[in-house]
Amino acid sequence: MPVTLRSLETAVPETVLVQSEVRDVFAGQPGLTRLGQRLVATSFDYSGIETRHTAVEELTLARRSSEPVFFDAGSRTILSPSTKVRNDIFAAEATPLFIESARKALASCPDLSPADITHVVTVSCTGFFNPGPDYKIVRALDLEPSVQRYHLGFMGCYAAFPALRAAKSFCEADPAAVVLVVSAELCTLHVRTSNDPDTIMGSSLFADGAAAAVVTARDVTDTSPSLVLDHFETVLTPVGEESMAWNIGDEGFEMVLGTYVPHIIDDHIVGALEPLLARDASLHGLPYRDVTHWAIHPGGRSILDKVEAKLELTEEQLAPARRVLRNFGNMSSATVMFVLKDIMDAPFDGTDERICSMAFGPGLTVETGLFTKTGSASARVQGDPAAAAVLL
């Protein structure tokens, strides 16, 4: 039996950030230069984002705290809590998202029970605590205490693919294995105000969210659409090590997201795809747009624009990534799983469909995955699948 992603579920915090409102707050911060104000306006207005979610309720204008930590709504001032304060909030607020998305993913597999889970792989780059999210999931879902647990930490936006690749390897080694892969990121914990273009860019893009998948090679009776995990590949571009990075500072984690990143992707995306597509003879020599679906990590609007133009894809093929970016922003490692869910939940006539997926992260690292959407004909979600799939 092939290794299959049986279910894919997502969760986001309740607090919604409206992009235009957040832009105005950032543009009005004391110490911001005229150039900084222009960079804020440009970054926020051309991000392709309308709304994002945050686990920090205090970040909205609608909520006022007598002892503000992140944002003083009265003075509209963004504050600078320590890394410890931010990480303590990560431990408190990320845990429910890890657990909720994991519970939903398991519940979406009616033929599986908590006792069937053999491995848990958790992913995050926005905080640390121990016993960690892998432990919290085992306890909250009443999984067997013998479950093998792994955590992939601080890898960045591409980390969902190493997690899925590990799940595939576990299932190939043990056909009875059932792996729960869970990613949760609270990027807004590390929001800061600055005149630095990288900091401004990160503040305009990053958001909070979680996604969980059940992966197994077991025979199943459920015929709902699922994703066969065909192949994964990793490529390091020859340049870009200084253009995308994620460092720990005294006042939160510091994102380096150079404006040259879209150009690096534009120059090297074709080469990064070659090892993946070479794994399948049926795809050799085909135009990229002949692959039905493209699940691209929406690191930003300019990255999606470069991918669409370079690979000569259609607007429809980039629509899932743009929907996720518009409604949820960049949630680091969880984001590409939101895009895959959009594709997985789209109406389906039962004919196998190929999906090529890519995510980008520090290094510059390009992770790619090839999937096959399979199962019986269905229309699991009506209307906009991204909107219907992610709310708690």
Per-residue pLDDT band at 392 (split at 50, 70, 90): very low
Query: What is the band of 378 on the pLDDT scale with cuts at 50, 70, 90?
Result: low
CA distances to 180, 183, 200, 248, 361 from 154, rounded to whole Å, are: 19, 12, 21, 10, 11
Spatial separation of the C-alpha atoms in residues 360 and 298, rounded to whole Å: 9
Split at pLDDT 50, 70, 90, the class of 390 is: very low
Name the band, by pLDDT with cuts 50, 70 and 90, for residue 244: confident
pLDDT band at 60 (very low <50, low <70, confident <90, very high): confident
C-alpha span between 143 and 138 (Å, rounded): 5
**pLDDT tens-digit series, residues 162-183:** 999 999 999 999 999 999 999 9
Question: 185 with 333: CB under 8 angstroms?
Answer: yes
Average the pLDDT over 95-112 and give the result: 97
Residue pLDDT, tens place only, 265-305: 999 999 999 999 999 999 988 999 999 999 999 999 999 99
Can you tell me the mean pLDDT for 52-60? 92
Strand pairing category for 226-236 and 244-249: unpaired
Which pLDDT score is estimated for 222? 72
Q: Verify whether residue 356 is a known catalytic residue.
A: no
- Residues contacting residue 173 through CB under 8 Å, at least 6 positions apart: none
Q: What is the CATH number of domain 226-374?
A: 3.40.47.10
Q: Which tokens sit at 213?
A: 């998948």
In this predicted structure, which of 46-50, 75-79, 93-97 has the lowest mean pLDDT?
Answer: 75-79
Q: What is the pTM of this model?
A: 0.94
Higher-confidence residue of 383 and 263: namely 263
Euclidean distance between CA atoms 317 and 293, whole angstroms: 6
Of all residues in the chain, the percent with pLDDT exceeding 90 is 81
Give the distance, in angstroms, between the CA of residue 30 and the centroid of all CA atoms in the same chain. 32
Write out the DSSP string of 354-365.
EEEEEEEETTTE
- Mean of the per-residue pLDDT values for the chain? 92
pLDDT digits (tens, 9 = 90+) for 8-22: 999 999 999 999 999
Residue 245's pLDDT is 82
Catalytic residue, chosen from 157, 171, 187, 356, is 157
The domain locations on the chain are 226-374
Return d(Cα 353, Cα 64) in angstroms, integer: 49
What local confidence, expressed as pLDDT, does residue 63 receive? 72
Statement: residue 247 has pLDDT above 70: yes
Q: What is the pLDDT of residue 388?
A: 38
**Residue 347 token pair:** 């109406």
So what's the pLDDT on residue 64?
Answer: 75
pLDDT, greater one: 32 or 381: 32
Q: What mean pLDDT do residues 242-254 have?
A: 87
